[in-house]
Structure 1
Amino acid sequence: MKLPNFLIVGVQKAGTTSIYGYLKEHPQVYMSPIKETNFFATDWEKQIEKKPDTGTRKRINSWERYCELFIDVKDEIAIGEASPNYLANYETSSEMIQRYVPDVKMIAILRNPADRAYSDYLMHLRDGINAGKVSSLSEQVKFRAESSSTIKKGLYYTPVKHYFDTFGQEKFKIFLYDDLTKDSLKMMQEIYRFIGVDDTFNPDTSQRRQAAAVPKNKTLNNLLQTKNPIRTAISSTLKVAMPLEMRQKIRSSLVKFNSAGKEFKPLSSEERQLLTDFYREDILKLQDLIQRDLSSWLVV
């Protein structure tokens, strides 16, 4: 059984979906068909002891299910998966990685934490996550920075240092989202070199795999994106007249129609200042740790 020899461990909202796609294009690379397996983010043996798996959700919650993701590996040199929560859940993830694939190489793409938090915030609005309960970024920084995953995921220093100390810096490669936006081809070729495949391959980096979107009408978006009585009633009625695939297409079209670019809800100067001040100390420590100039992240 062939298993991953590299992992993309972080972070969310830093281009990992695009990088996953560029890696899949390379003929010497095999990527898990599920982008975010999140297998190493939870100690599933302990989890199932507390709450047995009912089988109602197809989670990758066992070593057997995880291995099944790689049964189609042929003669590819690099085998990988991308689960950006592995950096955020660094304590459990590093322990699980050591347990199952201790010799794996790891890659993290880090983004200006203020921009990352803003993008994460927009995703919560777009997908109707905690619909009606999403606090503004200012409120999250001021009143619940310690409990907000949107804010906490931008504190990179401790997770990165933990991985460095656990696995050694030679196994852990750091890239910046800025590298991806400035010269995506150069960055991808550096990743190819790191995982040991032909670095002269040119992926199609002309398109971004995901772009930030903001709902124009929050009420309509929540009706379309969350489980609610109105959506259930409409779905039950349409079930008689049209197949599931057509219903999903209609819903997707309505979501798209109700979406605008991030300029529809820009990050305010007050929010950027608050976020930058909050992350300042962490950025300075990270800068020394990874030996990269991060001064641009401190500019408001």
Structure 2
Amino acid sequence: MNLRKSAPRSLRVGGRKAAVWWGERTASRRPPPDFLVIGGQRCGTTSLFRALMAHPQIRRPQLHKGVNYFDLDYDRGEAWYRGHFPVRRPEDDLRVFDSSGYYMFHPQAPARIIHDLPEVKVVAMVRDPVERAYSAYKHELARGFEWEKSFGRALELEDARLKGEVEQMVADPSYQSFNHRHHAYRRRGEYAAQLAPFIDGLGADHVLVVESESFFADPLTDYRRIVDFLDIADFEPESFDRYNARPGTGLDRAVAAELRTRFEPHDAALAEIIGHPPVWRR
């Protein structure tokens, strides 16, 4: 039984506020994260998060899987952000991380990360963009953030829904776009364009791309790649479990074919980054 989740909501909210208050006031003893899991959405980041947490040298933020600082709460300031992480001594051989799935897609997040954490390493998970788009649609529909009952119709509306949103987000850093966050089914699958700022700003050696299909087919191999990337001790979790899978009816073949064609140039650009055709194009 999870005692924290069973507590009254008012008590949980009050406890979180107190923890953030105290964390912010002791921020100087809380170094920023060593690495970030930046997304993508519906690509298996929760499963990766759980696997990473099994490693004895890895620590998470204290309250949530991700802090969402560089995308949604940047105005709260560095002390607020660092207050979410554990106190560390210089001799502690740990790696602390933040796993926020919107960092990869938010138009301002890469520049903020590069400016504030120029030595940070980032791990990005990618998935067949056709399957990712459909999974995201089902996810948003189930959460009540999508109301179109047809995936095809939601795709038809995407350009209109997102028109001018990125421009407004860039012009006004306080603006948060509901449509950009919840209705970008195709655009979130254009991975190469999202990865480019991180590679250019941090260096290719600070960016690791993990293909979701490969991770779930042979998780230990990719886990060892990540461990090597983070320069920590070799370790094998007891199990690799899958979280947040979204069941539902199959994707319409005509819609899938249209999306597959649309993603061809984006998948080719991704292949240049990872050094081979992505799993879903082999």
Taking structure 2 as the reference length, the TM-score comes to 0.75
Give the number of aligned pairs. 229
What is the distance in 2 between the residues matched to 1:20 and 1:140? 30
Q: Is residue 269 from structure 1 mapped to residue 253 from structure 2 by the alignment?
A: yes
Name the SS of the counterpart of 2:97 in structure 1: strand
Report percent identity of matched pairs: 24
What is the distance in 1 between the residues matched to 2:71 and 2:239? 29
What residue ranges of structure 2 are gaps of 5+ in the alignment? 1-28, 163-182
- Aligned match of 2:264 in 264, 274, 280? 280
Q: Please name the residue that 1:189 is paired with.
A: 224
- Aligned match of 2:99 in 77, 82, 99? 82
Deviates more, 1:201-210 or 1:20-29: 201-210
Give the conservation status (yes or no) of the 8 Å contact 1:141–1:274: no
Give the conservation status (yes or no) of the 8 Å contact 2:39–2:102: yes
- Aligned match of 2:206 in 171, 174, 178? 171
Name the SS of the counterpart of 2:104 in structure 1: helix
Name the SS of the counterpart of 2:70 in structure 1: helix
- Post-superposition offset of 1:204: 3.2
Matches within 5 A, 1:51-90: 61-73=76-88, 75-89=92-106
- Post-superposition offset of 1:98: 2.3
What is the distance in 1 between the residues matched to 2:214 and 2:238? 16
Q: Please name the residue that 1:48 is paired with.
A: none
Give the conservation status (yes or no) of the 8 Å contact 1:78–1:196: no
Give the conservation status (yes or no) of the 8 Å contact 1:23–1:31: no
Q: How big is each residue's C-alpha offset from its partner over 1:84-123, in whole Å with a ceiling of 9 and x where there is no partner?
A: 211111x411221123221101110110100111111111
Against the structure 1 CA distance between its residues 143 and 71, is the aligned structure 2 distance closer, same or farther, given a 3 Å change threshold? closer
Q: How big is each residue's C-alpha offset from its partner over 1:112-171, in whole Å with a ceiling of 9 and x where there is no partner?
A: 1001111111111221224xx235332233443462412211111211122211111011
Q: Is residue 26 from structure 1 mapped to residue 55 from structure 2 by the alignment?
A: yes
What residue ranges of structure 1 are gaps of 5+ in the alignment? 46-60, 213-260
Q: How big is each residue's C-alpha offset from its partner over 1:243-287, in whole Å with a ceiling of 9 and x where there is no partner?
A: xxxxxxxxxxxxxxxxxx32xx21111121121122111111221
- Post-superposition offset of 1:202: 1.1
Q: Is residue 38 from structure 1 mapped to residue 68 from structure 2 by the alignment?
A: yes
Give the conservation status (yes or no) of the 8 Å contact 1:138–1:274: no
- Post-superposition offset of 1:78: 1.0
Q: Is residue 289 from structure 1 mapped to residue 273 from structure 2 by the alignment?
A: yes
Q: Please name the residue that 2:215 is paired with.
A: 180
- Aligned match of 1:203 in 237, 244, 257? 237
Give the conservation status (yes or no) of the 8 Å contact 2:68–2:100: yes
Give the conservation status (yes or no) of the 8 Å contact 2:35–2:96: yes
User: Moved runs in structure 1, 4+ residues, more than 4 A?
Assistant: none
What is the distance in 1 between the residues matched to 2:257 and 2:51? 34
CA RMSD of aligned residues (A): 2.0
Give the conservation status (yes or no) of the 8 Å contact 2:36–2:97: yes
- Aligned match of 2:189 in 127, 134, 154? 154
Q: Please name the residue that 1:12 is paired with.
A: 41
- Post-superposition offset of 1:43: 7.0
Taking structure 1 as the reference length, the TM-score comes to 0.71
Q: Which amino acid aligns with 1:7?
A: L
What is the distance in 2 between the residues matched to 1:137 and 1:279? 17
Give the conservation status (yes or no) of the 8 Å contact 1:113–1:279: yes
